[in-house]
């Protein structure tokens, strides 16, 4: 049975930088070093180890729910804290350089982000069916709106809900309720589509929303150890037009 409404996640569902964060940290360090430090000292020969430290720092930072929420609402500071914690007392990176590298990493990720090839055609097809669409994304207003504007996405949605503007975000149940109330639909008439198992599957299912996990890896298999039970799993957005 087709839904009356579909709530879409944004990052890694409709758009994505398509690379692991370590790629951008490596590039950011390399570019800032070349611009600001290269003349005074040689390029770090332990660059791969530094990137591993950053990745571990990021995993630790984002693993704590409260820190995740405050971090995504101030992503610039979050990136700095992640990099700063990873570098510790490494004197090769003063505070100014640490900010420059963190900001460069963010800029590189934004520049690299592209929209999935089937995203627009899928949104257009669903709208043509008369299905009401809403975009429900976590994060602060400025970076999320920049992504939405970059790909001219707002035109496809009756409702665009950004956590930093709404004052509530996934997986808080109120986030889904606000979107459904705005669209004038009930949970049993609604689908939720996204890549985050907790935010787009487990939480919305508590309200009776039909929850579709978009596997960002493209395998169509839940991560090992996951106990979640999506109502449906897809590997590409175009599958939404065929159900």
Q: 213 by DSSP, 3-state: which?
A: strand
Contacts of 233 (CB under 8 A, 6+ apart): 212, 213, 215, 220, 221, 222
**What local confidence, expressed as pLDDT, does residue 242 receive?**
65
Question: Do 85 and 129 share a domain, yes or no?
Answer: no
Question: Do 123 and 234 share a domain, yes or no?
Answer: yes
Question: Do 81 and 134 share a domain, yes or no?
Answer: no
By C-alpha distance, which of 128, 126, 138, 180 is closest to 13? 138
**What local confidence, expressed as pLDDT, does residue 223 receive?**
87
Question: Do 158 and 230 share a domain, yes or no?
Answer: yes
Question: Do 100 and 149 share a domain, yes or no?
Answer: no
pLDDT digits (tens, 9 = 90+) for 155-198: 999 999 999 999 999 999 999 999 999 999 999 999 999 999 99
Question: Do 147 and 182 share a domain, yes or no?
Answer: yes
CATH number of the domain enclosing 140: 3.40.50.1000
Question: Do 237 and 123 share a domain, yes or no?
Answer: yes
Enter the tokens of residue 2: 């087709």
Beta bridge partners of 210: 191
Per the structure, the count of domains in the chain is 2
Q: Which of 112, 145, 172 is the last residue of a domain?
A: 112
Question: Do 108 and 127 share a domain, yes or no?
Answer: no
**What local confidence, expressed as pLDDT, does residue 39 receive?**
77
Q: Which of 71, 88, 112 is the last residue of a domain?
A: 112
Question: Do 12 and 83 share a domain, yes or no?
Answer: no
Question: Do 233 and 124 share a domain, yes or no?
Answer: yes
- Given a contact cutoff of 8 angstroms between Cβ atoms, the answer to whether 109 and 17 are in contact is yes
Question: Do 230 and 176 share a domain, yes or no?
Answer: yes
Question: Do 45 and 65 share a domain, yes or no?
Answer: yes
Q: Which of 72, 88, 112 is the last residue of a domain?
A: 112
Which domain does 10 fall in, by range? 5-16+115-242
- Estimate to the nearest angstrom the gap between the alpha carbon of 90 and the chain centroid: 30
**What local confidence, expressed as pLDDT, does residue 243 receive?**
61
- pLDDT means over runs of 10, the chain (243 residues): 96 95 97 89 92 98 96 97 97 95 98 96 97 98 98 98 97 98 98 97 98 90 91 96 70
**What local confidence, expressed as pLDDT, does residue 41 receive?**
85
């Amino acid at each position: 049975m087709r839904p009356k409404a579909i709530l879409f996640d944004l990052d890694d569902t409709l758009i994505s930088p398509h690379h692991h964060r370590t790629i951008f940290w490596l590039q950011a360090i390399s570019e800032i070093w070349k611009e600001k430090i290269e003349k005074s000292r040689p390029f770090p020969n332990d660059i791969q180890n530094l990137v591993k430290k950053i990745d571990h720092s990021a995993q630790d930072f984002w693993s704590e729910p409260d820190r995740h929420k405050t971090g995504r609402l101030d992503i610039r500071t979050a990136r700095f804290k992640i990099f700063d914690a990873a570098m510790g007392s490494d004197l090769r990176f003063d505070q100014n350089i640490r900010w420059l590298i963190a900001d460069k990493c963010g800029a590189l990720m934004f520049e690299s982000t592209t929209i999935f090839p089937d995203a627009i055609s899928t949104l257009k097809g669903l709208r043509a069916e008369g299905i009401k669409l809403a975009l429900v994304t976590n994060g602060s207003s400025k970076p999320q709106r920049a992504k939405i504007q970059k790909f001219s996405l707002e035109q496809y949605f009756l409702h665009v809900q950004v956590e930093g503007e709404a004052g509530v975000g996934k997986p808080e149940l109120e986030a889904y309720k606000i979107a459904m109330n705005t669209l004038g639909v009930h949970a049993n008439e609604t689908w939720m589509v996204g890549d985050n198992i907790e935010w787009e599957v487990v939480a919305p299912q508590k309200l009776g929303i039909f929850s579709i996990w978009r596997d960002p890896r493209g395998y169509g298999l839940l991560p090992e150890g996951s106990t979640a039970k999506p109502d449906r799993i897809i590997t590409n957005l175009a599958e939404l037009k065929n159900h």
